[in-house]
Chains A and B, each alone.
Chain A
Amino acid sequence: MIKIDSGLNSFKRQTENWNISASDNDDQQSQLSLAGQFAGSNLSNLEGFNSFNPYLPESTTQGLLECIHEVQTMSCSMSGLNAASLVSLSSSQAIFGCLSMINKYHMIKKQARNTLLLCTDLPQVIDVAAHTNLQLKKISLVQLEQNLDSTVAAIIVDVPNLAADEFVSKSVLKLIREMDIIIYMEGSGQYFYSHHSMPKNVTFDLLNLDLSYQCETDSGVYAILSNDKLKSYLPTPRVQQKENSFSLQTQQQNPFSIGPLNTGAGNIKKILRCYVQLRLKGTHGIQQQAMKAIVAAKYFIKKLADSGYSDACFTIGTSGVCFITVNQPVESKLSLEQGLECYKLLGLSADDVLPENKTHFTITLGRLHCLSKTQLDDLIELFLNLENAVEHEKDA
């Protein structure tokens, strides 16, 4: 156990290798996966893969295509959805792909649908929707039923924290199905892997997922996953298997597809890095890691709340990241400045945490699953005793 009164610098020296993160959007790099990171970096550079070109005869790219196909399969297996495309290079490209699929699905069905019901606050969707002919209508989930009409193309949700039966009532879900409205989940975090909010259980039709984030590699691999209903609309080229051979499905072969989103077949190097991580850990290993992240965050928050951190608002993000919003004036032991000091103490940048009005601030702590229980307890101790520790530092 670290003694807080031994001074902040001493604490800082001991925490600098903890590898926790200040961002809910950071990769989930942990000690466990460092081996995978090195292996991924080396193995994605193998000569036969480096010279890949989508125009090469497929018989000369079978090795790589098989790897991509296996990543597609594993993504489907983790989500419970039926088909995956890995061609998107950024989240906006993936969202554009999903919105285009929604649009084309209704167009082919000759359904005049152009309303998207946005049931959550997703600025990235609002930005991308401006590049389509779909009109966004922001509502809350409780208003969903009254907004369902014949112009609705899709419902966009971001509710991986909810259990299947909490998403909407069975009768509303039945209505959504009868009206042939698509349910699209934008983005996902660690909760994605938990059984009770697996996309198939929450009856999602469409999902985009930052796979590099989940596989602890650099960003650049975004999966679009769909059920059978939307499978043929996925962007091309997608790897398909026929008996024992693999091929890239082009738009000519699949006229329903929305077409290519870029000129490549996905970021091959980064897909290979994801592949390495997935094969080393297995999908179950990734699920376990997700659970650990969530439990660590829950434990951290519970301990703070139990210890009288009464004016703080705690939430857990979709990635097992814990957010602590502290309001001013602070009656608890932690003042605004001390909070920021605490943040810096953990080696995290405090640049983004101060809002303009400076009445409250949010501490974001990610990768808590990288810590052992003892380290977690130390961190809690630090938060609870920061005032004493700061005083002690001054004295020293």
Chain B
Amino acid sequence: MLSDTDFDLLCKQCDLENFDFFQADKKSVDAELLVLTESELTSLLKKRSVQDSVVLNFLAAGSFNNFIPSIVKARKQQSDNCSQKVYESNKTTVEDKLKSLTEMPCCAVFNDDLTTLLTNLLIDIKRTAKTDNEIVSKILISATVSPSIRNVLRTQLKYHSIDLVVLDYDKNSGKLPLSQLQQFDSDEVLAVVMGWPNYFGLLEDIAAISYWAENKGSQLICLSDPLSLSLIKSPFKVADKLDYILGDLQAVGFTASESGVSPSFLASAKDLSNNLKSVLTTQINHEDLTAIQLSMSVTGLSGFQHSAELSNSTLHKLVDKLTEIDGVEKKFISDSLNECVIEIAGLDIEKGLKMLARHNIIFGYVLQNEYPELTNCLLISCSDQHSKEDVEKLVNKVATMVKNLSTAGCPVKPKFNS
């Protein structure tokens, strides 16, 4: 490193001494924040991290907190000396495993997050459609696709003559009804986007939807994830015709905090078009690829399956026990995967969550903000890290909460504001 003495010497030799660039006003760039030593910083961040540690969290809303083997966590060190050959081989391994999960013939991984990948795919579909680019085309998206994904698409597709139409879901089943699609009779629909499973953890009637899409000449795009695909049939096998499966690779070696920003994959029924390839040029970086490859190799597909089975059996046990409590019900009858919507009738849900916060428990995600009709409804989830005791603790506290809300308040003070 260039020492301060050498720096001064070099400045002299380059006649830079009086250059105002070096007379920088230190105050103008000095942040109010002090420079810390490594030990001071470690202590500060550990304190902040402990402050953020919640004992029991049943809120996922698409970000899964499944176990990550320690070797995957050390991916940075693993990827540092990765040669191009190793990179290519890791990429092929990952893509082959995703092909076997999706059961689709073509698959590629990208550095882009899921929404960027989806945006680029939709733009490409619009570009290659045999319509005038100026004509507004419709892309149908189910209301059961994550609201945050729909919000990003609204920002990103604003300038592309694409009308993003949100299709309402059936209030009884929590799924996209075929009648919503049947309003669109002409060939104006370029693509239909749905989740597998959807945001509520339910499996859509993909056979009927794909039949409709095929007849109308629309492309069908399914959003899924490797954990779900390890447990259920690939939508490609269930649907008559499915064009693409897209998914976030967060569950494959990334923490919950990396959800929405982790790499993604695109599986397709046919070779990716040249147009699409030119849009999707962001190569996945070595570090992330190593994490995915390590996770897939260490855990293996059977490991994913085990993790998904464990999470779901814990979730089902939890839901069964919760619904034994008076007033607590499953909102939608169908079997749910990864996440489940429960309804606590006749209670102020915010008050209830506050009550559970007193015991350091986050019960679930309140759906009412994005789905106003789902009053008193929560989206809950379990990971493979939740124990039987965790489930029992939650069930007991919810039972007490339901009871106490109709009598006197809980004497324990909240540990955080819900």
Interface status of A308 (Cβ within 8 A of chain B): no
8 residue pairs bridging A and B, Cβ less than 8 Å apart: A35-B38, A43-B41, A55-B61, A60-B54, A259-B151, A287-B24, A369-B2, A376-B10
Q: Given the complex, which residues of A lie within 8 Å of B186, measured CB to CB?
A: none
Using a CB-CB cutoff of 8 Å, which residues 216-272 of chain A contact chain B?
A: 218-220, 235, 251, 258-264, 266-269, 272
A376 and B1 alpha carbons, distance in the complex (Å): 10
Residues A57 and B257 in contact in the complex (CB < 8 Å), given A32-B1, A39-B42: no
- State the Cβ distance, B5 to closest chain A Cβ, in Å: 9
- State the Cβ distance, B364 to closest chain A Cβ, in Å: 10
Q: Given the complex, which residues of A lie within 8 Å of B35, measured CB to CB?
A: 279-282, 284-285
Is A61 within 8 A of B52, CB to CB?
yes
Is A56 within 8 A of B362, CB to CB?
yes
Is B41 within 8 A of A262, CB to CB?
no
Q: Given the complex, which residues of B lie within 8 Å of A235, measured CB to CB?
A: 155
Nearest chain-A residue to B151 (Cβ)? A260
Which of B111-119, B164-172, B265-273, B337-345 forms contacts with chain A?
B111-119
A11 and B63 alpha carbons, distance in the complex (Å): 51
Using a CB-CB cutoff of 8 Å, which residues 3-30 of chain B contact chain A?
A: 3, 6-7, 9-11, 13-14, 16, 20-26, 28-30
Is A55 within 8 A of B365, CB to CB?
yes
Is A53 within 8 A of B21, CB to CB?
no
A361 and B59 alpha carbons, distance in the complex (Å): 56
Is A292 within 8 A of B2, CB to CB?
yes
Nearest chain-B residue to A263 (Cβ)? B260
Neighbour of B46 across the interface among A35, A46, A80, A302, CB < 8 A: A46
- State the Cβ distance, A316 to closest chain B Cβ, in Å: 11
Q: Given the complex, which residues of A lie within 8 Å of B10, measured CB to CB?
A: 295-296, 298-299, 373, 376
Interface status of A70 (Cβ within 8 A of chain B): yes
Interface status of B89 (Cβ within 8 A of chain A): no
- Closest CB pairs A-B (n = 9): A63-B48, A264-B260, A195-B24, A48-B49, A48-B52, A263-B260, A282-B35, A46-B49, A373-B6
Is A59 within 8 A of B258, CB to CB?
no
Q: Given the complex, which residues of A lie within 8 Å of B259, measured CB to CB?
A: 53, 263-264
Contact with B along A349-380 (1 / 0, CB 8 A): 00000000000000000000111110010000
Residues A220 and B261 in contact in the complex (CB < 8 Å), given A46-B49, A60-B416, A263-B148: yes
Residues A60 and B258 in contact in the complex (CB < 8 Å), given A45-B73, A46-B45, A261-B155: no
Is B41 within 8 A of A291, CB to CB?
no
- Chain B: residues with CB nearer than 8 A to chain A? 1-3, 6-7, 9-11, 13-14, 16, 20-26, 28-38, 41-42, 45-54, 57, 59-63, 65, 73, 76, 111-116, 123, 146, 148-149, 151-152, 154-156, 158-160, 255-261, 282, 285, 287, 353, 357, 362, 365, 416-418
Residues A259 and B155 in contact in the complex (CB < 8 Å), given A302-B14, A370-B1: yes
Residues A56 and B23 in contact in the complex (CB < 8 Å), given A78-B29, A260-B155, A279-B35: no
Is A64 within 8 A of B52, CB to CB?
yes
Nearest chain-B residue to A235 (Cβ)? B155
Is B26 within 8 A of A284, CB to CB?
yes
Interface status of A66 (Cβ within 8 A of chain B): yes
Is A298 within 8 A of B14, CB to CB?
yes
Nearest chain-A residue to B147 (Cβ)? A263
Nearest chain-B residue to A198 (Cβ)? B28
Neighbour of A53 across the interface among B14, B22, B48, B257, CB < 8 A: B257
Is B42 within 8 A of A194, CB to CB?
no
Residues A298 and B16 in contact in the complex (CB < 8 Å), given A39-B42, A67-B48, A262-B260: yes
Which of A89-97, A115-123, A178-186, A337-345 forms contacts with chain B?
A89-97
Nearest chain-A residue to B31 (Cβ)? A77
- State the Cβ distance, B215 to closest chain A Cβ, in Å: 31
Interface status of A17 (Cβ within 8 A of chain B): no
Q: Given the complex, which residues of B lie within 8 Å of A58, measured CB to CB?
A: 417
A93 and B119 alpha carbons, distance in the complex (Å): 12
Q: Given the complex, which residues of A lie within 8 Å of B2, measured CB to CB?
A: 292, 295-296, 369-373, 376
- State the Cβ distance, A89 to closest chain B Cβ, in Å: 6
Residues A219 and B285 in contact in the complex (CB < 8 Å), given A77-B30, A89-B261, A194-B21: yes
Q: Given the complex, which residues of A lie within 8 Å of B60, measured CB to CB?
A: 53
Is A39 within 8 A of B115, CB to CB?
no
Interface status of A25 (Cβ within 8 A of chain B): no
Neighbour of A51 across the interface among B48, B54, B154, CB < 8 A: B54
- State the Cβ distance, B291 to closest chain A Cβ, in Å: 11
Is B31 within 8 A of A283, CB to CB?
yes
Q: Given the complex, which residues of A lie within 8 Å of B34, measured CB to CB?
A: 282
B2, B160, B259, B287 interface centre (most CB from chain A within 10 Å): B2
- State the Cβ distance, A253 to closest chain B Cβ, in Å: 12
- State the Cβ distance, A55 to closest chain B Cβ, in Å: 5
B29, B51, B149, B155 interface centre (most CB from chain A within 10 Å): B29
Q: Given the complex, which residues of A lie within 8 Å of B29, measured CB to CB?
A: 77-78, 193, 195, 198, 283-284, 287
- State the Cβ distance, A288 to closest chain B Cβ, in Å: 8
Residues A57 and B76 in contact in the complex (CB < 8 Å), given A51-B57, A296-B10, A372-B3: no
Is B115 within 8 A of A262, CB to CB?
yes
A45 and B1 alpha carbons, distance in the complex (Å): 29
Is B152 within 8 A of A262, CB to CB?
yes
Nearest chain-B residue to A66 (Cβ)? B48
Nearest chain-B residue to A133 (Cβ)? B159
Residues A62 and B52 in contact in the complex (CB < 8 Å), given A46-B45, A93-B116, A263-B146: yes
Interface status of A41 (Cβ within 8 A of chain B): yes
Is B45 within 8 A of A43, CB to CB?
yes
Nearest chain-B residue to A70 (Cβ)? B33
Nearest chain-A residue to B250 (Cβ)? A264
Is A50 within 8 A of B30, CB to CB?
no
Neighbour of A52 across the interface among B148, B151, B257, CB < 8 A: B257
Is B261 within 8 A of A280, CB to CB?
no
Interface status of A131 (Cβ within 8 A of chain B): yes
Neighbour of A260 across the interface among B30, B38, B148, CB < 8 A: B148
A260 and B146 alpha carbons, distance in the complex (Å): 14
Q: Given the complex, which residues of B lie within 8 Å of A48, measured CB to CB?
A: 48-53
A90 and B357 alpha carbons, distance in the complex (Å): 37
Interface status of A73 (Cβ within 8 A of chain B): yes
A122 and B295 alpha carbons, distance in the complex (Å): 38
